[in-house]
Amino acid sequence: MANPRNRDPLDEYDARVDVGQLQNDDHQRGIVQSLQHLHDELKEYQAPQIVHPDVESLQTASQSSFLGALLRRRGSRRSRTNIPKNLPKGLYLFGDVGSGKTMLMDMFYDTLPRNITSKTRIHFHNFIQDVHRRLHTMKQQHGTDFDAIPFIGADIAENGSILCFDEFQVTDVADAMILRRLLESLMSHGVVLVATSNRHPDDLYKNGIQRDSFIPCINLLKSSLHVINLDSPTDYRKIPRPPSGVYHFPLDKAAASHANSWFKFLGDFENDPPRTATHRIWGRDVVVPRASGKAAMFEFAELCGRPTSAADYLELMRWYEAFIITEIPGMTHKSRDLARRFITFIDAVYESRAKLVLTTAVPLTELFVSRTEVDDAMNEEQKNNPPESGEHQDVDDTMRHLMDDLGINMQVLKNSSIFTGDEERFAFARALSRLSEMGSQQWIERGLGLEKDGGKEDMESWQKVRSRWREDML
């Protein structure tokens, strides 16, 4: 049923506060604001027409010909699923029992814009069981080697352009192995996903069988959905922590409010209102456009658009403990100077144990290398050298998963012209790995004085780590 009162999420929230159904809570209002951002995007969204794949194209090589089998053995990677660029970024709401997941999902689903005429809401357990039944039926019809996921994805997409999951969880290896491709298939047909869960994506299928194979699905959830923490942590500043993670993609209407919310949280607006600050570094004035307390906020062009050195960034680390960087573009081989400066800055933030908030035009995996560059390099490399086993052995687990998610293999990086040499290649790998770590809940919350982490003791411990780093840099 369409939204009968034509209310949006914030209208509905205010109405419930007015009649006493809900208490006005800044943290919860911030979450509803995230619902509102998606609601506003959906007002202008037109889902593409569903195009079912041809059954013949989903037959495996063994079903077609011996020659086909030989050819497919040389190229082990499946063709990449293309997700429409205009697909609104969905939501992943996680929190403990009693955090309001069901109420928020009700509010979002019931206030969907009137132009959204097809929508589906289902408990995730029931959804995945239905998928397995469909898989079983199609394999009975077409054989056990038939690749049914794209066909099932198209079928499900026909039922609604908005798909809402209640209680998203993964406990079974059979679910884990199909989920990434299934979700990608749904998004390729223009389906916007919204999910509630008890767990952060990083904690899904924890200690499960073959969990390494599930990591790309976790990366997909984190890059394609805004991950929102429903639990309201207590800290000594009495300011509600922004419910979203620290990295925001793309540069949409919500990007500015994301950056400002984190700046307010990490700064000290009450005692040190936002202002322009100037620091004398190596005989030059370095301007911080917006500073408050121990937090500094830059646009990317202000931070990396002029000649800067590692010494400049290290000196900034002495003054500030948190950095909010906005309007970060995707970088290609034509903007290598910008990429090198930004990687140097990332290294300085990481080594000083500071906190980092970003708004980016592209996913992190495409920050330093464009999708086109990767595709061109892959095509060129596969013409000359087939992929080799063990190709990712010289990178860490985090980087390996990021490379798999992007579709890169190490042989391509070594032989392509994307990077000028091994040193640049590993700087790229290290930066992505460090960004992944700095985006973790553990990194973000350390030193905030949260009660669950030890309160004041946690805050003092983190300050000691920062002090030792400053002493080491003297």
Which residues are CB-neighbours of 281 under 8 A, at least 6 positions away? 311, 312, 315, 316
Q: Which two tokens stand for residue 248?
A: 């925001």
Residue 176 and residue 211 in contact, taking contact as beta carbons nearer than 8 Å: yes
DSSP letter assigned to residue 234: -
Residue 452 confidence (pLDDT): 63
Residue 360 and residue 321 in contact, taking contact as beta carbons nearer than 8 Å: no
**Which of 7, 42, 33, 258 has the alpha carbon at shortest distance from 163?**
42
**Which of 460, 436, 438 has the alpha carbon at shortest distance from 447?**
460
CB burial of residue 1 (10 Å; 0-12, 13-18, 19+): exposed
Residue 352 and residue 469 in contact, taking contact as beta carbons nearer than 8 Å: yes
DSSP letter assigned to residue 276: E
Give the helix ranges, DSSP H, for 235-351.
253-266, 300-304, 310-319, 336-351
Sign of the torsion formed by the C-alpha atoms of 102, 108, 111 and 115: negative
Residue with tokens 């006493």: 20
Block mean pLDDT (10 aa), the chain, length 474: 72 91 85 93 90 72 43 43 87 86 90 92 91 90 86 92 93 89 94 94 88 90 90 56 83 90 91 91 85 95 88 89 95 82 92 93 84 67 55 49 53 54 70 86 79 68 74 61
**Which of 446, 472, 245 has the alpha carbon at shortest distance from 352?**
472
CA distance 314 to 348: 6
Residue 61 confidence (pLDDT): 45
What's the gap between Cα 443 and its chain centre?
Answer: 16
Q: Which two tokens stand for residue 130?
A: 């239905």
Residue 58 confidence (pLDDT): 63
Residue 75 confidence (pLDDT): 39
pTM over 0.85: no
Residue with tokens 């063990």: 390
Residue 228 and residue 99 in contact, taking contact as beta carbons nearer than 8 Å: no
CA distance 360 to 341: 16
Q: How many residues does the chain have?
A: 474
Residue 447 confidence (pLDDT): 79
DSSP per residue, 75-111: --SPPPPPPPTTPPPEEEEE--TTSSHHHHHHHHHHT
CA distance 398 to 139: 35
Q: Which two tokens stand for residue 77?
A: 């990677």
Taking the CA atoms of residue 311, residue 261, residue 38 and residue 372 in that order, the dihedral angle to the nearest 10 degrees is 0
Residue 228 and residue 244 in contact, taking contact as beta carbons nearer than 8 Å: yes
Residues 324-342 as b/e (b if ≥16 CB within 10 A, e otherwise) read bbbbbebbbeeeeebbbbb
| Cross-strand bridge partners of residue 163 | 120, 193
Query: Can you say whether residue 282 is alpha, beta or left, with left for phi > 0 and alpha for psi between -120 and 50 degrees?
Result: left
What is the helix (H) or strand (E) element at residue 37, kind and residue range?
A: helix 26-43
Which residues are CB-neighbours of 432 under 8 A, at least 6 positions away? 364, 365, 367, 368, 398, 399, 402
CA distance 288 to 280: 11
Residue 138 and residue 153 in contact, taking contact as beta carbons nearer than 8 Å: no
